[in-house]
Homo-oligomer: A and B are copies of this chain.
């Protein structure tokens, strides 16, 4: 289930990154399984190989992928301990979105329920 929207303002390589993150976190892509080669991926998505390469590099930088020279890229194990800076940044973004949702009329309760539902999916 790969969703790429060329018309979206979000860069394609970021969309590829997010799709992989989503599939890894949901468990659809298992640890140590091989991901398609850059060329195959590019062909399948109908985008430029350079774009896929940039996405893979990003995923490797964020420790979602690891690469074995000559063999391709693979799904990495979940990080043992994340840097607190990363976590803090994510919480920062989270609070901004929550505040905006509340400003737009959503209630804390609705948001909590939404997260619970999300959790059961990903669990």
Binding site for B on A (CB under 8 A): 6-7, 9, 11-12, 18, 21-22, 24-26, 61, 66-69, 71, 78-79, 81-82, 86-87, 90-91, 93-106, 108, 111-112, 114-116, 118-119, 122
Copies in the complex: 4
Picked from B86, B99, B118, the residue with its CB within 8 Å of the CB of A22 is B99
Quick one: given A67-B9, A106-B87, are A115 and B112 in contact (CB under 8 Å)? yes
**A21 is contacted by which of B69, B99, B115 (Cβ under 8 Å)?**
B99
- What residues on B are CB-neighbors of A7 within 8 Å? 66-68
Chain B residues with Cβ below 8 Å from A66 are: 7
* Pairwise interchain contact B99-A69, C-beta atoms closer than 8 A: no
- A95 contacts across to B, CB distance below 8 A: 114, 118
